[in-house]
C-alpha cells in the first residue's frame, strides 16, 4: 500500500517539478569547453569548488589560467571533504560572498558537487544553508552551477539532491529540489583516468545499481527508462575495460556517460532495496557506498526475480548479441548471471567485513523504513528477507535463496 502511495508521490513530483538535464560536454577537452561556456555566459567572478587533492595535483591549473586570460577573477575553495558538513558549506559561502562570486564551477566527486549545489542555492536564498533542508525549499534560482565530476558513480552532476552531514545531530540532511541540477556538466575522461581500480569498480557498480533500480521501479517515465537501458548497456560493456585499464580514455568516457544517464533515470523514478539496505550498512560500519551496493545488488535481483521476470528479460535482450532463448524465465536468469559475471570481472567481493548478527534487527528495520518512506519498489520485503540477505553477505554467498 505504502509502495503505491510512493509510486504516485514520486510520479507527481517528477511530473510537476521535472528535472532538467544539464547541457553536456564529453570527451577530451570537455572541461575547457565548459569553461568557455561560462565565459560566453558572461560570468566574471567564478568560484571554483574543488577536491583538495585535485587542486594539489594541478587538475584545475589550466581552467584557472583560461578564466584569468578571459579577464575573470577566480576564487578557489578546496577544503571539501567526504561527507561534507555545514561548517564546510558556511566556510565556502563566506568566501563566495566576500569575493562577490557570480557563478560556481565544481570539480570533484559527489561530496564536492553536493557542497556546490547547496552553496550556489544558499547564495541567492539568504545565505543560510540550514533553511534549505528538505524538499522544494529553493525559492530563487541558484547561482549558475557547472559541474565536472571526477568519479563515475554518484550521478550527482545530474541529480536534484544534495546531502550535508549535521555534526551536532550526527544526521545526514537532504536537500531536494530540481533547481539544484547544474546548468551544464563536463564528462572529462582525463580527469577520471586517475581513479584507482577498486574505486572504478565499486562506483561503477553504484551507477549500474542506479540504472537497474530505476528500470525496475514501479514509477515509469519513457525517457528515464530509455536512459536506464543505455546506462546498463554502457556500464556492462565498458566498466570491465575501464577497470582493467584506467588509461583507456574511451572506456572512462563511456562509464562516465553511463553514470550520468543512470543518475538522470533514478532522479525521476527513485531507487530501491539495494540502496535502502546499503545506506544502513554504511551508517553502521562506514562501508563505502558503491562497495555495499555492489555486494547487495545480486541478492536483491534474486529477490525481485519472480515479479521482474519481464523487465530482466528485456534487459537481457538489450544486452545479448544473440539471446539464448525466447523464454522470459530463462532470459531473466541469464540477466542475473550476467551481473554475477560482471561482479566477478571487476572483482567485487561476495562479502563485507564487519557485519554483526547483533545489528541485523536494526539494519532490517531501518532499511524497510527507508524503502517504505521513499521508494516505489516492485516487491515489498519483510525483515526476514533483509536478514537473509545480510546472512548471505556474512557467508560470502553471491547467490541467495529466499524462503
Q: Which residues bind Fe ion (CB under 5 A)?
A: 206
Looking at beta carbons only, is 188 or 206 nearer to Fe ion?
Answer: 206
- What 127-131 contacts at long range (C-beta under 8 Å, 24+ apart), as own/partner pairs, is 127/93, 127/97, 129/86, 129/89, 129/90, 129/93, 129/164, 130/86, 130/173
Looking at beta carbons only, is 103 or 151 nearer to Fe ion?
Answer: 151
What is the smallest separation between the CB atom of 11 and Fe ion, expressed in angstroms?
21
How is residue 60 annotated by DSSP?
Answer: T
CA distance 337 to 68: 52
Cell of 287: 562501508
Looking at beta carbons only, is 142 or 155 nearer to Fe ion?
Answer: 155
Looking at beta carbons only, is 31 or 156 nearer to Fe ion?
Answer: 156
Number of residue whose CB is nearest Fe ion: 206
CA distance 78 to 56: 9
Q: Could you give the angle at the alpha carbon of 351 between the alpha carbons of 349 and 354, nearest 5°?
A: 125
- Residues 89, 119: contact at Cβ < 8 Å? yes
- Residues 36, 23: contact at Cβ < 8 Å? no
Looking at beta carbons only, is 123 or 181 nearer to Fe ion?
Answer: 181
- Residues 284, 264: contact at Cβ < 8 Å? no
Looking at beta carbons only, is 144 or 258 nearer to Fe ion?
Answer: 258
Print burial letters for 165-190: b (CB count within 10 Å at least 16), e (below 16).
beeeeeeebebbbbbbbbbbbbbbbb
Cell of 148: 565536472
Taken in order 32, 82, 54, 236, the sign of the CA dihedral is negative
What is the smallest separation between the CB atom of 135 and Fe ion, expressed in angstroms?
19
What is the smallest separation between the CB atom of 29 and Fe ion, expressed in angstroms?
29
What is the smallest separation between the CB atom of 153 and Fe ion, expressed in angstroms?
7
CA distance 370 to 5: 14
What is the smallest separation between the CB atom of 278 and Fe ion, expressed in angstroms?
8
What is the smallest separation between the CB atom of 289 and Fe ion, expressed in angstroms?
6
What is the smallest separation between the CB atom of 110 and Fe ion, expressed in angstroms?
9
Looking at beta carbons only, is 46 or 204 nearer to Fe ion?
Answer: 204
The DSSP bridge partners found for residue 94 are: none
Nearest alpha-carbon partner for 301 in 261, 273, 262, 270: 273
Looking at beta carbons only, is 206 or 334 nearer to Fe ion?
Answer: 206
What is the smallest separation between the CB atom of 375 and Fe ion, expressed in angstroms?
12
User: CB within 8 A of 331, min separation 6: which ones?
Assistant: 312, 313, 316, 317, 323, 324, 325
What is the smallest separation between the CB atom of 262 and Fe ion, expressed in angstroms?
9
Looking at beta carbons only, is 11 or 279 nearer to Fe ion?
Answer: 279
Amino acid at each position: 500500500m505504502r509502495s503505491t502511495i510512493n509510486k504516485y508521490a514520486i510520479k507527481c513530483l517528477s511530473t510537476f517539478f521535472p528535472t532538467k538535464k544539464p547541457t553536456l560536454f564529453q570527451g577530451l577537452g570537455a572541461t575547457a569547453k565548459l569553461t568557455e561556456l561560462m565565459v560566453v555566459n558572461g560570468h566574471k567572478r567564478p568560484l571554483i569548488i574543488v577536491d583538495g587533492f585535485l587542486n594539489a595535483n594541478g587538475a584545475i591549473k589550466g581552467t584557472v589560467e583560461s578564466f584569468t586570460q578571459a579577464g575573470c577573477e577566480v576564487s578557489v575553495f578546496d577544503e571539501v571533504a567526504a561527507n561534507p558538513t555545514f561548517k564546510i558549506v558556511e566556510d565556502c559561502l563566506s568566501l563566495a560572498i566576500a569575493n562577490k562570486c557570480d557563478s560556481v564551477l565544481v570539480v570533484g566527486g559527489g561530496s564536492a558537487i553536493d557542497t556546490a549545489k547547496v552553496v550556489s542555492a544558499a547564495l541567492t536564498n539568504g545565505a543560510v544553508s540550514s533553511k534549505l533542508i528538505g524538499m522544494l525549499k529553493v525559492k530563487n534560482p541558484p547561482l549558475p552551477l557547472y559541474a565536472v565530476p571526477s568519479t563515475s558513480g554518484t550521478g550527482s552532476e545530474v541529480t536534484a539532491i544534495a546531502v550535508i552531514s549535521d555534526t551536532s545531530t550526527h544526521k545526514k540532511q537532504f536537500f531536494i529540489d530540481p533547481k539544484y541540477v547544474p546548468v551544464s556538466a563536463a564528462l572529462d575522461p582525463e580527469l577520471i583516468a586517475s581513479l584507482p581500480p577498486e574505486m572504478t569498480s565499486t562506483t561503477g557498480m553504484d551507477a549500474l545499481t542506479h540504472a537497474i533500480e530505476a528500470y525496475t521501479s514501479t514509477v515509469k517515465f519513457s525517457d528515464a527508462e530509455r536512459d536506464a537501458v543505455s546506462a546498463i548497456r554502457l556500464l556492462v560493456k565498458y566498466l570491465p575495460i575501464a577497470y582493467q585499464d584506467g588509461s583507456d580514455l574511451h572506456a572512462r568516457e563511456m562509464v562516465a556517460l553511463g553514470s550520468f544517464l543512470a543518475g538522470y533515470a533514478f532522479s525521476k523514478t527513485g531507487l530501491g532495496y539495494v540502496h535502502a539496505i546499503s545506506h544502513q550498512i554504511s551508517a553502521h560500519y562506514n562501508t563505502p557506498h558503491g562497495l555495499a551496493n555492489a555486494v547487495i545488488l545480486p541478492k536483491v535481483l534474486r529477490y525481485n526475480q519472480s515479479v521482474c521476470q519481464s523487465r530482466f528479460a528485456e534487459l537481457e535482450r538489450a544486452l545479448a548479441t544473440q539471446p539464448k532463448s525466447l523464454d522470459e524465465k530463462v532470459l531473466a536468469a541469464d540477466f542475473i548471471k550476467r551481473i554475477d559475471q560482471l561482479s566477478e570481472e571487476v572483482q567485487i567481493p561476495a562479502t563485507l567485513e564487519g557485519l554483526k548478527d547483533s545489528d541485523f534487527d536494526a539494519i532490517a528495520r531501518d532499511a524497510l523504513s527507508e524503502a517504505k518512506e521513499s521508494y516505489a519498489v516492485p516487491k515489498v520485503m519483510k525483515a526476514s528477507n533483509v536478514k537473509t540477505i545480510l546472512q548471505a553477505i556474512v557467508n560470502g554467498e553471491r547467490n541467495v535463496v529466499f524462503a
